[in-house]
Amino acid sequence: MERLSERLFQQFSALVYEECGINLHEGKKSLLEARLAKRLRATGMASPKEYYKYILSEDGRDELIRFFDAVSTNLTYFFREPKHFDFLVTRALPEMVRRSREQGSSRIRIWSAGCSTGEEPYTIAMSVLENLDQPDRWDFRILATDISTRVLQTAQRGIYDKAKLQNVPPALRSRYFILRRGGAGEKLYEVAPQLRKVIAFRRLNLKDPYPFRGPFDVIFCRNVMIYFDKKTQEMLIKKMAEYLVSGGYFFVGHSESLTGLDHPLKYIKPAVYQK
């Protein structure tokens, strides 16, 4: 692939920022070139310039989504940042149960924003189901969203290799996963129906209008804000906080902080905030 000119890099960066809010600064140029090279091979296009014109055309709308898929990095595994799940079951869940009962309701709603390949929402589901008294009596649902159609397909398949499950306790692995064999005889783990039935996977660009009402008791938005500049972070946090119940919790990644941002949430502990 021919080198990406500075002008074209700025054009791609502006497009990604305008549509997704992701900030592809100068240090991300080599990343963009690598992701572009894959899409050029896949589409048979001759140059980044030709590809850029194509994704802006009416015929290139589907490829535009694939391009956004390619530039949004996704790395995750089950029980990543485990202190969040400890907090969820020891503090947030009892408060959710008490709040619902006081309202004469059985409703519990959690949003996994930027759910990637599904490990986070499935971990949330396991954590809640394991610690909820008589879970079948509760109207418990998780909304799991991501901008990438590619990772959502993986999440909906719900089949993972052994490495992804290294932090899943054996008791949970046997209860919530079905052992399969891959084409080469390798061990694969498929999520069980009791996890699937409480999760809805949907494509969502966090910058777009939200096609739901909420409210949510908890929002996980971990390792998502790092891709946005300060202005976009503030806009998104304020927007998402509107969909959080009073007293609800907002989780960000441990490498992230809302310090220095204008937002309506109260700091509880590192990477945990409350409305």
**Range of lowest pLDDT (134-143, 177-186, 211-220):** 177-186
User: How far is it, in rounded angstroms, from Cα 83 to Cα 5?
Assistant: 44
> How many CB atoms within 10 Å of residue 68?
20
**Residue 107 pLDDT more than 90?**
yes
Q: How confident is the model at residue 111 (pLDDT cuts 50, 70, 90)?
A: very high
| DSSP-derived secondary structure letter, 184 | T
Count CB-CB contacts under 10 A for residue 108: 22
- Please say whether the beta carbons of 128 and 44 come within 8 A: no
**17-42 residue pLDDT tens:** 887 767 777 878 888 888 899 899 99
Whether 79 and 123 have beta carbons less than 8 Å apart is answered as yes
Quote the tokens at residue 51.
Answer: 């590809």
Distance of CA 271 to the CA centre of its chain: 16
Q: Which range (14-28, 86-100, 218-232) has the least confidence? A: 14-28
pLDDT value for 254: 82
Look at the chain and count its residues.
275
Q: Structure pTM?
A: 0.80
Class of residue 156 by CB neighbours under 10 A (exposed 0-12, middle 13-18, buried 19+): middle
pLDDT at 73: 62
Alpha-carbon distance of 173 to 191, in angstroms, equals 9
Domain boundaries, the chain: 6-71, 82-274
Buried b (16+ CB within 10 A) or exposed e, 119-141: bbbbbbbbbbbeebeeeeebebb
Which CATH architecture group holds 82-274?
A: 3-Layer(aba) Sandwich (3.40)
CATH 1.10.155.10 fits 6-71, yes or no: yes
Query: Which has more pLDDT, 91 or 77?
Result: 91
Q: Summarize pLDDT for 66-86 with one digit per residue, the tens.
A: 888 788 665 678 998 899 999
Strand partners, 144: 112, 201
The residues assigned a catalytic role are 35, 146
Q: How much of the chain exceeds pLDDT 90, in percent?
A: 67
Q: Which of 70, 4, 72 is nearest to 43 (CA)?
A: 70
Query: Would you say 8 and 2 are in contact if contact means Cβ atoms under 8 Å apart?
Result: no
